[in-house]
Amino acid sequence: MIIGDSKPLEEILEMIRDKPKVLVVGCRGCVTVCNVGGEKEVGILASSLRIARKKAGEQETVDEFTLERQCDPEYLEELEGKAGEYDALVSIACGVGPQFLSERFPNIPIFPGINTTFIGGALEHGVWTERCQSCGNCIVHHFGGLCPIARCSKSLMNGPCGGSANGKCEIAQDVDCIWHLIVEKMEAMGRLEELERVWPVKSWLTSRDGGPRTRIREDLKQ
């Protein structure tokens, strides 16, 4: 799941300062699950913007709209004929949303209302943690199902660094050393000796280092 954080209201107000008529656009995807960009959050943000503008003596319009997803072109069709009525759109989807909206509506300024943070999962209600860096070549099976790339502060793949102590990372005492967890997990499964095996160098050709990535599924193309 993509995790995001709401931008400060003051930052968004500055973005739309010269835009009399604004539409806040939400998404029912990941940002709804992490409570930053769904229909409820669209309502809260739009209301907050209206109140702030009214207090400043402004009479500008701030409307609301929530799409099923902002990362699929077919859902953006819902805004056809509507987006052109506004001086700007504020997208509170992940970073893909404002880009897709900008490409679909090239003559309308698009502003991001949230900061996309990481790919992760929920530890409990209201608590999310990073678990993946989307490197495109998953090898967590070599490490007991745990990812040292995303969860080690140095992305070390050959064991813990000299800064770990008592199972904790040197960056903070509340951060587990993932290599400590990997060793414990592999030992519990009776697979500890596998960590001594020399594997071929991981290919990073599928990672972000090679530039923007495109995935094509010929079996799904129409």
Residues 125-161: tens digit of each pLDDT: 999 999 999 998 899 999 999 999 999 999 999 999 9
Using the structure block, give the residue that is written with the tokens 């080690």: 152
Q: Please tell me the predicted confidence (pLDDT) of residue 208.
A: 79
Q: Between the CA atoms of 156, 159, 164 and 165, what dihedral angle is there, to the nearest 10 degrees?
A: 160
**Residue 218 is encoded by which pair of tokens?**
């010929």
Cα(128)–Cα(4) distance, rounded to whole angstroms? 10
Sign of CA dihedral 96, 72, 137, 33: positive
What percent of the chain is modeled with pLDDT above 90?
86
Q: Determine the average pLDDT of the residues in 38-59.
A: 95
**What are the strands of the beta sheet with 110-112, ordered from one edge?**
61-67, 21-27, 88-91, 110-112
3-state DSSP assignment of residue 144:
coil
Residues 6 or more apart whose CB falls under 8 angstroms from that of 113 comprise 6, 7, 12, 24, 37, 45, 90, 91, 92
What values do phi and psi take at 112, rounded to 5?
-85, 135
Helix (H, G, I), strand (E, B) or coil at 204: coil
Structural domains of the chain, with CATH: 2-118 (3.40.50.2300), 137-197 (no CATH)
pLDDT for the residue 59: 84
Q: Report the mean per-residue pLDDT for the chain.
A: 93
**Sequence-ordered list of residues with C-beta below 8 angstroms from that of 114, at least 6 positions apart, any chain:** 4, 5, 6, 7, 31, 36, 37, 92, 93, 94
Beta strands in 171-210 (DSSP E): none
What's 152's DSSP letter? S
**Six-digit token string for 77:** 């069709």
pLDDT at 216: 82
Write the DSSP assignment of 35-77 as a string of letters.
TSSSHHHHHHHHHHHHHHHHHTT---EEEEEEES-SSSHHHHG
Alpha carbons within 13 angstroms on the beta-carbon side of residue 146 total: 21
